Amino acid sequence: MGLEYVRISPGFEKYMPKDYVDLVQYGQFGRDIDVQQLGQFKELVEEHPMCAGCFMAYFIRVFYAALPKPEDTIVLGTAGCARLALSQAAVPFIYGNYGDTNAVASGLKRALSIRFPDKEKDVVVIAGDGGLIDIGFGMTMHSWFRREKFTTIMVDNEVYGNTGGQESGMSPKGVQLKMAPKGKQFEKINAVELAKTAGCVYVAKLSPTNPKRIAKTVKRAILAARHFGPTFIHAYTSCNIEYSIPTEKVLEDARKREKQDFGFYEWMTDEVKEFFEEMERKPEEVKA
């Protein structure tokens, strides 16, 4: 972790894999990248085995491009689709047991703040609806109750996609899935309100239809977590396999759901709001 560990020792460039050399020379490390520059620099994520047209893979791609300091970040994940791409990125990744991501992240964040008291190290949890709100529910909630300073991102595909399509707490009411043939009997859990009640200082809900907005939300969640407390993003990342969405219609589906129940929503405490206003005002003052 840290910029000095990323750089290649002089003389070793020709022995390193080309992808790694590209990553150091044309990548994000030590540079301030705008998400609009995607496609013009070497991205942190490499080829991964996620399905064609997977919008969770898309969200993860934009997430990595949005990291404010990738060289000082640790990402945690758990069993589920997201880990397939998360583990292929040039950012340290910790694979927790199912459901314990937020407990591991709590300890990690505390240890990092003791080991590096003068540096800002970001810890981000990205897990699915099963990992965070079903099986990991207790640990997720308790990390928020304890006001642990890290970001939790839920990539919500509304199903257990890896294991054949069982319903999750986040599946919408009435939906029929391969392993839920009678249709889901209960309402979708309102994770955003839970996060607000449990003590998160910044909460957002989005459908990935606008890369600039995803990047801004991710940046804000990470910065707010550095200084104030737990933050939470609820992202709709459809499962085109289990929900039988043709790959070319995945973006159309995300746009449709944005109009229905995944409209962009952002909530933050007053002190966080003040912090962002102050931060966004600063460049103008410098220019003046």
Partner 1 sequence: MYYVADVKETDCAKYNCKQCVLFCPEPNTLMYHDSKHVAWVNYSRCKGCAICVYVCSDLLKRNCIEMVMMTAGE
Which position among 29, 33, 61, 84 is part of the footprint of partner 1 (CB under 8 A)?
61
| CA gap 70, 33 in Å, rounded | 11
Is residue 103 a contact residue for partner 1 (CB under 8 A)? no
Single-letter residue type at 136: G
Which listed residue (16, 20, 24, 46) binds partner 1 by CB under 8 A? 46
Q: Which is nearer to partner 1, 102 or 238 (CB)?
A: 238
Distances (CA, A) of 248 to 18, 25, 148, 171, 252: 32, 33, 40, 22, 8
* 244 part of the interface to partner 1, by CB under 8 A: no
Binding residue for partner 1 (CB under 8 A) from 36, 176, 197, 260? 36
Nearest residue (CB) to partner 1, 47 versus 270? 47
Burial class (CB in 10 A: 0-12, 13-18, 19+), 173: exposed
Decide whether 231 or 240 has the Cβ nearer to partner 1.
Answer: 240
Total site size for partner 1, rule CB under 8 A: 29
Sign of CA dihedral 5, 7, 8, 11: negative
Least Å distance, CB 62 to partner 1, is 8
Please give the C-alpha separations between residue 275 and each of 152, 201, 207, in angstroms, as whole numbers: 20, 12, 25
Closest CB 208 distance from partner 1, rounded Å: 9
Asked whether the beta carbons of 208 and 236 are under 8 A apart, the reply is yes
Check: CB of residue 115 under 8 Å from CB of residue 164. Answer: no
Residue among 57, 104, 153, 221 that touches partner 1 (CB under 8 A): 57
Residues that bind partner 1 (CB under 8 A): 35-36, 38-40, 42-48, 50-55, 57-58, 61, 64, 211, 247-252
